[in-house]
Structure 1
Amino acid sequence: MAYCVDIYNFPGSIEYEYKWEGNYGAKGEKRAARERPSPWQIELQNQINKKNRIRRTIKANFVENDFWLTFTYRKGERKDMQGVKEDLNNVLRKLARRYRKFGAELKWMRVIEIGARGGIHIHMIMNRIRGADTDVLIKECWQHGRIFFSNLYEEGGFEQLAQYMAKVPDEEERKKKGLPRKLTKEEYSYSTSRNLIRPKPERKRYRRWTMRKLLLYGPKPTPGYYIVTESIRSGTNRYTGYSYMRYTEEKLDRRI
């Protein structure tokens, strides 16, 4: 086998991931020395994969000026995890009904976070109803405290936002927040509405090209697109010993 490319198509961009398939490289590709990954390195790679899944899900379902929300509880009203999830489910049911009245479908992604003093708050990405005061609808449905509104900003392909949603508090951060124990998966995992698009790549296989040619001359953009220079990543996978390349293209009309 030679190499393959996984292609992810989004409304305004395309992502490419070139990598080797199987146990052998293409003709002319010499396998570099490999390393055995440590448990820490495996955990780190799992986090990177999780972040990329979140980032691509955001790109496939949300656009600039959709909402980044923080739901908080008023002073004196502190809930446990189960109570917070019940409150959130009630709000989402109400909002789903109101969205349908405007002919829209509610989409969301959320992560529940424990603050420095142990209080729980909710971060959520939510789509905006075009032509409606969506922020007013959301405020009317949340009766437990304040909501902080921000607009999504797509610079970097939502990289920072995905990084935030994928993070797992480490030992130092838990101590800084005064948390007495390691958090359960429920307390740091993200959740989404069921109606989201889950991006799946189109895979193409090549048997005649070599990665050397791609690394030497660089990728060529698709007509109507330009390659985001900062997105290009290439090198040798330290665990497989084979070359790889990743990059993103964006539509030319978005550059104006």
Structure 2
Amino acid sequence: MSETLQTTSADTVSDADLLAQTVIVVRTAGSALRERFGEVVRHETREDLVHALADNDDTALAILRPRLTELRPDAGWVEDELDGGALPPGEWWVVDPAEGNVNHLHALPEWAVTATLVRENQPVLAVVHLPLTGETYTALAGAGAHLDGRPLHVAQTANLDLSIVATSQARPDEDEEVVRRVGASITAMLFDALVVRTSVPATLHLANVAAGRTDVFWQFAGARADLLPGALLVREAGGRISDAEGRPWTPQSDSFLAAAPGVHAQAASTLSR
């Protein structure tokens, strides 16, 4: 049966109903990006690459922005997916129209479409859709995290030396201090963890932590769209969220750590060295 978007007054719709409607919108945008996926998109200059990235973003945004605005007319819209820091008061849509966009252009499968509704700087619902597999991860504050309707739970791992851990490059052209910090953290985890994975995008690593497939994810720097949907998924699946040193995380933090509770303190200790 095909999915249809049904509008309801923003004053009366519940967050659970809003989540269900957001899923339809995000899946529709994902289908449009899937149609563009296949051959490697060749580029010879950074300008060519930026243009190709923008084409993908525009394809998804042409669906996401009007339909999500229709669902929540009074919510603000974050214009730049690479923005970080606190948002002004009220509700905001934080969307990544092609999370892992560079992978899409290189015919790699690790990419997604995400949408998160943030209310008073707290994520209240999130949708992460993987168009190539058809999987949809959802989270609703206080109501758990799910994969295609099945509840998600983080791993019960209690030892970092038995853990699969992961990190991601927040963006190209990071400053030297961040790059060196990333390198040092990977080295430290290579000594303390079982296996270290490094790839983009962040959201897919966080979905794996929420699903109990991996145990730890950390990142230095990063944007709201990188971290908010996965942070809600992990938290609602029973995981712990902090900065890399174990302090409370906010979008203003300069680092991020998500982990199964049994290894969170060990991961923070490793990353703090």
Higher helix share goes to which structure? 2
- How does the TM-score come out when normalised to structure 2? 0.23
Structure with the bigger RCO (C-alpha within 8 Å, sep 6+) is 1
Larger Rg: 1
Query: What TM-score does the superposition give when structure 1 sets the normalisation length?
Result: 0.24
